[in-house]
Structure 1
Amino acid sequence: MTSPDARMLASQSIVIILCGNKKDLDPDREVTFLEASRFAQENELMFLETSALTGENVEEAFVQCARKILNKIESGELDPERMGSGIQYGDAALRQLRSPRRAQAPSAQECGC
């Protein structure tokens, strides 16, 4: 599946990361860093080279992907409350904390205690 297919079937705002694996086998590479980087840029993909063997950049791939999703939520480009956005809050407590539509807590002046 190509990234236009993924964007058409999922969402235009989908976050896709291209991971070039086996970074530890640099002498045996078939695709140069420049070729992969250019492909990622042309297709609006995030790009990292990783090594499952050494663990290099494996966690970083998830962190960068999550950070990009969070930035899109904060900018309003993605809305976890909207059906079909491709994302959702996993915990009901988080949904209440993060939701901009939540009711404001009563102020001290309104409290009858």
Structure 2
Amino acid sequence: MEVTPKVRELYHQSVVGQALISSLDEMIYHGDISPRLAIKVLLQFDRSMQAAFRELVKTKVTYKGGLKEYNFCSDQWTFLLRNAIIKINGTCVIEAKPAIFARLSREDTSFQVVHVVKLYFA
């Protein structure tokens, strides 16, 4: 399964992804590896991250709460919830006021949560 550009961007923005990119840039600068090899390494990193998430991550996070505000701008939805209950694997972990950013999936008409940017604790 091919890694989509948006997912690739999320992997590259992670702490591990940033460290890898920084190391590859330094090795290219010093002539230790070619830019072509660096690209191959990044593509393998993307495939490995996707496989690891598919096989190892079994956690299900759910949000339930009242809708305070919503907005649609630049092909992205923003939902601000009030009195939200966040559950991990069915267990309530926190009551908060999260801001959720979601994009419409291109493969079908379902929403794909990109990430939760802020949690305001109740």
TM-score, normalised to structure 2, is: 0.27
Whichever of the two has the greater Rg, that structure is 1
Q: Which has the higher strand share?
A: 2
TM-score normalized by structure 1?
Answer: 0.29
| Higher RCO structure, 1 or 2 (CA under 8 Å, sep 6+) | 1
